[in-house]
Chains A and B, each alone.
Chain A
Amino acid sequence: MTAGKPYLVWPVVLFGALSVLSACATRPEAEKTRMAPLELEKPASAAPWVRYKGWPSEMWNEYSTLAVAVPSTLSDPIKFDGPITGDPKNGEKLAFDRSRGGGCVACHVMGNPIPPLPGNTGPDLSEYASWGRSDEFTFNYIYDHRKIKPDSMMQPWGAHKLYSANEIKDMVAFLKTQKSPAKFKDNLENPNTRPVPVETRDNFDPFLNEAMAAVEKGKGLFSKEGAGKKSCASCHTDPGSAFKAWAASMPKHEPRLNKVIGVEEFVTRHARATTGEEYLMQSGGNLALSIYLRFLANGQPINVNTASAEHKQAIKRGTALLNRKIGQLDMSCADCHTAERGANKWIRGQWLGEFRGQIDHFPTWRTSRSEIWDITKRLQWCNVSVRANELWPGAPEYGDIELTISALNNGMKLSVPGIRH
């Protein structure tokens, strides 16, 4: 057996490999308290990171990401003498246009007639003309609200170059035409009466949830031998009982990497250090094993540690990240997913949920995309949706956020793989 040779490069891994060899077959009690062998040097995901095919290819380098906070440059309010003249027709077109950051109707009820499925995270503007706001105030609020109301979840449409000053003047002209209360065709069109979507599909039905195939794939990979003639099952002889609750306790702070890692990164690094198999994060094999390991813990309440010093710090960092305004749209996770702000409301036809309830079903099958998404990919998509560059899957920021959201979900029962739109 030549497996010992490459291990000499990393003494930590050598130690890990030896402990596995001795632990195999019996795996005595004492072994369980020892740290699991992990490969610690190489990146756990494709490097350099390249955004997924089919996703928007635009880069938003001048705006904050979860890793880099770019100080926002507040623009000075622009002075106008007298009323603003603009083209209300063009203003209406821009307000309804979904292609440039969502348009006003994503968050506000407005227009006559109102376009389909308006959102309600912002105030109803259908009688804005009677609010008594000056044109100058309206213009500056749209251009860069942060000087007027910094805690708003509005976007700095002008300062972040989403609309030109002339376009915003047209929007002001359009808002001045909003004089009559909103009239909705039916309950569905009214965001205040629209029924809340409930996922009723049986996520464990293999005929409905394609991700159920990943459970079996993962089970197969678990007993697949690597180059050293060892499989996961060589040591973990009884996965059903060994992993009955493990996934529900993840993610955890890993002192050797000095960051929080979830099931996915653990699988990558532990497999490298033991069987030698390569399961890069976001690969099919990694997703299958991650789903299988969580599947074994299904029904267990999520139970991440919130008491240790490392975890307290990580949750503090994670909470700050959840509140950081990022991207060209200048939005934080908390803007959409806390009840005080946008949660339990609509952006256009999409319902915004609170943090609690967002993690028990990941990795999940997404019927709208015919793909399995783990929590990292979901967070990356959130980033891109607010026009912020996503981070690579193993980024420590995602670990902090996963732990913080999991802590908010403690007590909720794992149900993996989930199924969602």
Chain B
Amino acid sequence: MADEMKMRATLQGDVADVKVLMTHVMETGLRKDSKTEKFIPAHFIDHVVATLNGKTVLDAQWGIAVAKNPFINFKIKGAKPGDKIALNASDNLGTQYSGETTVAAK
């Protein structure tokens, strides 16, 4: 779902600098609705996997400490122009999100 994830990968030498911006509420489950006084149910991304041409290069478990609309920035060694970098994320309610980008030449 392209709307929920923006990705960019730029190459410096053989290192790809990958930036990903996700749109997600990241509700902790600890906040109360000011009108109803009830807890807002937890809804957050808890698993993030990045792949380079299908091979996993990053596997992270996330928790409620990550802010709303998370931003993740990481580097992959040995990347070439044209390589495909994908990011798959899932939240505690089981919704899947994914984004893909091609490494741009510098």
A interface residues, Cβ below 8 angstroms from B? 206-207, 210, 213, 216
Contacts and interface: CB of A to CB of B under 8 A. Distances in A.
Interface in B51-106: 69, 71
A207 B6 CA distance: 8
A207 B10 CA distance: 13
B3 A206 contact: no
Given A206-B21, A207-B19, A207-B21, A213 B8 contact: no
A213 B23 CA distance: 8
B45 to A, nearest CB: 16
A216 B3 contact: yes
Interface residues of B, number: 8
Given A213-B23, A216-B23, A207 B71 contact: yes
A213 B3 contact: no
13 contacts: A206-B6, A206-B21, A207-B6, A207-B8, A207-B19, A207-B21, A207-B71, A210-B69, A213-B21, A213-B23, A213-B69, A216-B3, A216-B23
A207 B7 CA distance: 9
B12 to A, nearest CB: 16
Contacts of B6: 206-207
A214 to B, nearest CB: 11
Given A207-B21, A213-B21, 11 more contacts: A206-B6, A206-B21, A207-B6, A207-B8, A207-B19, A207-B71, A210-B69, A213-B23, A213-B69, A216-B3, A216-B23
Nearest to B23: A213
Contacts of B69: 210, 213
Most A CB contacts (10 A, CB to CB) among B3, B6, B19 go to B6
B31 to A, nearest CB: 15
Contacts of A206: 6, 21
Nearest to B73: A207
A218 B6 CA distance: 17
- 8 cross-chain pairs, A with B, having the tightest CB-CB distances, nearest first: A207-B19, A206-B6, A206-B21, A207-B21, A213-B69, A207-B8, A213-B23, A216-B3
